Structure formats: structure tokens, C-alpha cells
Amino acid sequence: MKIEGSVFKYGDNVDTDVIIPARYLNTPDMGELARHCMEDIDAAFASSVKPGDIIVAGRNFGCGSSREHAPASIKAAGVSCVIASTFARIFYRNALNIGLPILECPEAAEAIAKGDRVSVDFDTGKIVDETTGKVFSAEPFPPFMQDLIRAGGLAAYMKTIE
Amino acid sequence: MGMTMTQKILARHAAKSEVHAGELILANLDLVLGNDITTPVAVGEFPKFSRKCVFDKDKIALVPDHFTPNKDIKAAAQCATMRNFANEQHITNYFEVGHDCGVEHALLPETGLVTAGDCVIGADSHTCTYGALGAFSTGIGSTDMACGMATGKTWFKVPAAIKVVVIGAKPKWVSGKDLVLHLIGMIGVDGARYMSLEFTGDGIANLTMDDRFTIANMAIEAGAKNGIFPVDAACLEYLKEHGAKEPVIETADADAEYVRTIEIDLSSLRPTVAFPHLPENTKTIDEAKGIKIDQVVIGSCTNGRISDLAIAAEIIKGRKVARHVRAIVIPATQKIWLEALEKGYLKTFAEAGCVVSTPTCGPCLGGYMGILAKGERAVTTTNRNFVGRMGHIESEIYLASPAVAAASAIKGEIADPEEVCK
């Protein structure tokens, strides 16, 4: 599968409190939460993000809380992929479990700039910055996680192994 | 090659004779935990796992603690979703506000639901707290919680480990909070990412169980999968006293592999404060003191236990909270609240000008019960000081021990307990 979108760029240690502030967590409605996604780090995000857009960030993206509302609100906002140098552990798990595509690629995270058009081929892990022409290669997922992603998330995957 | 303590617990729960760092395993679970924010999402996901019933009604703990007592209509609806699920599924360990409830990670050890050697997941990042009891416990999301409730299993990547060797004894005003803040300051908020923090060393005997809960609780703030302590006499006594199941004591092999080893001498630690906006921005009290504050919070799953309230009461007794400071004290569970009442701590707090709340996570995550306005500063015994965590994005959170928080409440600025108690 291949996707293409414009980039929203952030730094290191983007935590789940800025991705979706807890003051909004009195609802499990991810569509409603998407309207507040990234609000405390980028107030313009929710109103300017378009379906297919990509988040690019530095180290330890999604650190902090276990709230699945963080990757789920990013997904519900229309984001097609998050590329980061590294991901915090629970965010990484949650993203795979709910089917939000994520890629670890420190070189891409460093070089890609805000507003660049970027395409991602999930089958090969190839990331292309269409604005600058630079090409990057993301870390491939271990086979188990590829199966999890292919199944479309944890619930579907568990059925395949039982 | 030998295994770490965490690896041994995981191997047993995956019915394997050995596991190695990086290996993906399917593990059996002893307990699955959720709260009023994460459980409603898990309840929504539960039907996707094609099970009518949970895997074991006695091995699920549902704790309404984050936005309770219900802070608004939507929060009330989320609690109702959780309560209805608990009733439908006949969940044994559903806790109700006022009856037997409290902040989840103070509550579960207190009720004896976790024992040494257990494998526990919780849809709350501070689930790592139970490592103090020699259990493997880690935070996961709502889909994982739903999967755990349905199947009694989950997948793990076996973590590598950092060995933290604790030596020496604590000086008077130093606590577990100071140790863990110091450690996070040393290795950073992703210094233990994906790894277990395995505590060891003679100095552990000088840490109370409450110190250990605080330390294991904040392992996540260094990015760790879990933090874990060896099972010693103090741990066994705690488990017995709280009616926990028979412990299974695992110990790390002598040839277990560690990514790195860190030594911390308790006697060299100073009261430590984490400055905005990351828990790794630590300074000693000597560098931190003098910053004017607007609010103090003493409570949370990190520091709302009886010994935390005891040291705060010791400092506050006979003194007054600075006029410009709002001091909020939150005993973490109903049982702790009652004990604090019986010991006179609540009276001490109230007479000094503190407000004492019912157990809730409330202000720690910016839910309610102490939200900060633009430009306001708080010293809190909680666990995160991210941008906007407790309120306005231009508010500031300074993380500290109950002793530093209490001293700061009296002085109206970040203060050294030693100086306030002179």
C-alpha cells in the first residue's frame, strides 16, 4: 500500500498529553477527540490536517500515558502515517493494535521538513520526500508485527492464531 | 546466557524454559486492569474478540478513579459504561467510589490483588507500580485490555534490562521519589525505552515498600516497560499483611545480561525536583529553592500513600500554608483516607489551610480538582510535568517528594524541608 500527504513536523518527546489532552478524555468518541488532536502543541493542526497527511517527529513520540485515544485521535483526524526517530513503547503497541501505520526512521525524521509532500510505500518501507527528492528506508517490522498489521489490528490477528 | 528477573517471569507465563531479549511471546495474564478513561474504549472493543464472557471474572480489576467522583455528565457516562460492563460480566474486583475505591495503583497492592511473580497488564501507564512487589506489570492500551479480558493473554516483546544497583541509606528528607527523579535525570525520559529497570543492591533494604512503589511507578517516565524489585522480607511481609496470593519468587540469574549498570548511593541523594516540562529536567533542592508557587498537590498513584501523608503532616503540623498557595491533599484510597483521619493528619492539613479531597487522580492529569491557570506554578508529588498536563499550556509543574511539596506549601516557594523544619 502506498500513501502520500503533506507533513506536520514536531520535535522530540511529543507526549500523549499534547496529542490529546486529558481534559477531553471524558468521551470514548474518537471522531470528537480528533477535533482536539495535537491541540496543546499545535492549535492549528485539527483545522488544517487533510486526509492522508503525515506526522513526522523526533525521538520518543507518544511518551507518557497509555491512552489509546492518542493514536486513535490521530487516525480519526485523517493522518495516514506517523514517521518518527523512535516511538514510546505503549504508543507503538497501541498504534499497531488499532491499525495506525507508524514507521521508525531517524534519517527521514531529521531531514523531512514541515509542509513537504511525502510518499510512503508500506510494503517496502520506502519513504520519499517528493519535495526534495530524498529517499529513506524505514526499519522493517518483525514478522509477527507484519502479520498484526496485515490482519488489520489485534482483534483480527487473535482470530488468525486461535 | 541467564535471564533477568523480568525475563524469568515472562518465560513462566509463556510456558517456555527460557526467553531472550527481543523475542515476541504470547503470555498468560494473572490480572487485567482498567480505569474509567480506558475501560469504556476497551468495552467498545471487547465484542471484536468474539467472546461472550471475560476469561476469568476474578482476574479483572476495574477502578473508577480518574474523573471520579464524576466530574461532569460525560465522565458519569463513562463510569456507567464501566459499571454496567462489570455487572454484566460479574466482575469480582469492581471498586466503587466511597466504598472500597481509590487510585488504582495504590488500591491494587492494598487489596492484595497482585503478588510476587505475577504477570499483570493495565490500561494505565503507571501499572508498572506493582514491580515493587516483584511482579511483572506494565501499561498497555484499551485494545490490549479488551484482548486480555477476552483471552487472558497478550503479546510481549521480551525486554532487555538496565540494572540499577542501590547502595547506602537515605538521609532524613530523601525518599523513593528523589531516587527515581534522580535516575530519570541521569538516563532521560527515553533512557530505558522498551527495557526493564531491575533494581538490586543492599540499599533496597533501606527503602520502604512505599518508596519502592513510588520508584516502580515512575519507571515509565524513563520510557521503561517495567521496573522491578527483588522479593525480600519487607516485600513478603507486605504481601502477607495485605492477604495477597502465595508469591512466586523469581531472581535474576548471576549471568543475566544487562544493557548497562547504574549505581545509586542513597546517602548521596538530595531532595530532587523535576522542572517543566519533562521529568528528566531534574535539579537538587539546593538549585531549585526560591521559585514562587501558586499551588501544591500531595497525592496520586505516585505519592498518595500513608507514609507520604505522614511526612507531609510532620512538616505542616503547627504551621500555616502560605496565604497565596492553594494546597490540595488527596489520600490515594479510602483506606488511606481513614487512616490519615485516625492519625490526625487530615486535621493537621485542614488547620494549616490545606484542602483535603476524596481519593481521585483528578488534578494529576488535568482532569479537575486543582487545574492551573495561565502562568501558574505548582509543586506536585505526581508523575508528569508535560506541557498542559495540569491545566493551561503556559502553566508550570515542578515534580517533587511529599516532603518538598509540604515544605513548599508552607514557604510559598520551592523549599528545602530541612530549612522549613529548623
Determine the distance in angstroms separating the CA of B272 from the nearest CA of chain A, rounded to an integer.
Answer: 20
**H or E stretch including A16?**
helix A16-19
Mean pLDDT of chain B: 98
- To 10 degrees, what angle do helices A89-98 and A143-151 make? 40
Q: In this predicted model, what pLDDT tens digit does every residue of B241-259 receive, in sequence order?
A: 999 999 999 999 999 999 9
Q: Output the pLDDT for position A140.
A: 79
Residue A24: Cβ within 10 Å count = 17
Q: In this predicted model, what pLDDT tens digit does every residue of A50-59 receive, in sequence order?
A: 999 999 999 9
Domains of chain B with bracketed CATH: 5-264 (3.30.499.10), 273-420 (3.30.499.10)
Beta pairing partners, B197: B162, B227
Chain B contact present for A149, CB below 8 A: no
Query: Among residues A42, A43, A54, A73, which one has the least CA distance to residue A5?
Result: A54
Residues of A whose CB is below 8 A from B75: 26
Q: Are strands A117-121 and A102-104 parallel, antiparallel or unpaired?
A: unpaired
Q: What is the mean predicted confidence (pLDDT) over B397-411?
A: 98
Dihedral sign from CA coordinates of B66, B71, B73, B79: positive
Beta strands per DSSP E along B115-247: 119-122, 136-139, 153-157, 161-167, 196-200, 226-228
Radius of gyration of chain A (CA): 15
Distance (Å, whole) CA A109 – CA B378:
34
Give the amino acid at A26.
N
Query: Among residues B408, B398, B407, which one has the least CA distance to residue B181?
Result: B398
Distance (Å, whole) CA B243 – CA B255:
34
Chain B contact present for A144, CB below 8 A: yes
Confidence check: pLDDT of B67 > 80? yes
Distance (Å, whole) CA B82 – CA B87:
9
Give the amino acid at B86.
A
Beta strands per DSSP E along B125-195: 136-139, 153-157, 161-167
Q: What is the mean predicted confidence (pLDDT) over B307-336?
A: 98
Give residue A144's pLDDT band: very low, low, confident or very high (50, 70, 90).
confident
CB within 8 Å: A154 and B147? yes
Hey, what's the cell of A23? 481534559
Q: In this predicted model, what pLDDT tens digit does every residue of B160-212 receive, in sequence order?
A: 999 999 999 999 999 999 999 999 999 999 999 999 999 999 999 999 999 99
Q: What is the mean predicted confidence (pLDDT) over B272-290?
A: 98
Q: Output the pLDDT for position B316.
A: 98
- The CA–CA distances, whole Å, from B278 to B139, B288, B322, B386, B387 equal 20, 15, 27, 6, 8
Chain B contact present for A93, CB below 8 A: yes
Beta strands per DSSP E along B275-387: 282-284, 295-298, 326-329, 354-356, 377-380
Q: Specify whether the CB–CB gap between B265 and B167 falls below 8 A.
A: yes
Confidence check: pLDDT of A161 > 90? no
Distance (Å, whole) CA B264 – CA B218:
16
Q: Specify whether the CB–CB gap between B301 and B129 falls below 8 A.
A: yes
**H or E stretch including B264?**
strand B260-265
Chain B contact present for A41, CB below 8 A: yes
Q: Specify whether the CB–CB gap between B143 and B39 falls below 8 A.
A: no
Q: Output the pLDDT for position A46.
A: 97
Q: Output the pLDDT for position B88.
A: 98
3-state secondary structure of B374: coil
pTM reported for the whole predicted model = 0.98
- To 10 degrees, what angle do helices B176-187 and B209-217 make? 30
Q: What is the mean predicted confidence (pLDDT) over B287-302?
A: 98
Task: Tell me which chain B residue has its CA closest to the CA of residue A148.
Answer: B155
Task: Tell me which chain A residue has its CA closest to the CA of residue B368.
Answer: A23
Q: What is the mean predicted confidence (pLDDT) over B83-110?
A: 97
Q: Output the pLDDT for position A89.
A: 97
Edge to edge, what strands does the sheet with B31-35 contain? B93-94, B60-63, B31-35, B119-122, B136-139
Confidence check: pLDDT of A162 > 80? no
| Closest partner CB to A28 (pick from B41, B50, B223) | B41
Q: In this predicted model, what pLDDT tens digit does every residue of A66-119 receive, in sequence order?
A: 999 999 999 999 999 999 999 999 999 999 999 999 999 999 999 999 999 999
CB within 8 Å: A154 and B366? no
CB within 8 Å: B146 and A155? yes
Distance (Å, whole) CA B266 – CA B307:
18
Q: In this predicted model, what pLDDT tens digit does every residue of B121-142 receive, in sequence order?
A: 999 999 999 999 999 999 999 9
Confidence check: pLDDT of A150 > 90? no
Q: Output the pLDDT for position B108.
A: 98
Give residue B1's pLDDT band: very low, low, confident or very high (50, 70, 90).
confident
At residue B61, φ and ψ (nearest 5 deg) are -120, 125
* End-to-end alpha carbon distance in chain A: 27
Query: Among residues A16, A14, A11, which one has the least CA distance to residue A69?
Result: A16
CB within 8 Å: A142 and B367? no
Hey, what's the cell of A45? 493542526
Instruction: Kindly state the percentage of chain A with pLDDT values over 90.
Output: 83
Chain B contact present for A119, CB below 8 A: no
Q: Output the pLDDT for position B16.
A: 98
Give the amino acid at A115.
G
Give residue B113's pLDDT band: very low, low, confident or very high (50, 70, 90).
very high
CB within 8 Å: B384 and A17? yes
ipTM over 0.95: yes
Distance (Å, whole) CA B25 – CA A161:
13
Residues of A whose CB is below 8 A from B125: 64-66, 90
Chain B contact present for A158, CB below 8 A: yes
Residue B236: Cβ within 10 Å count = 16
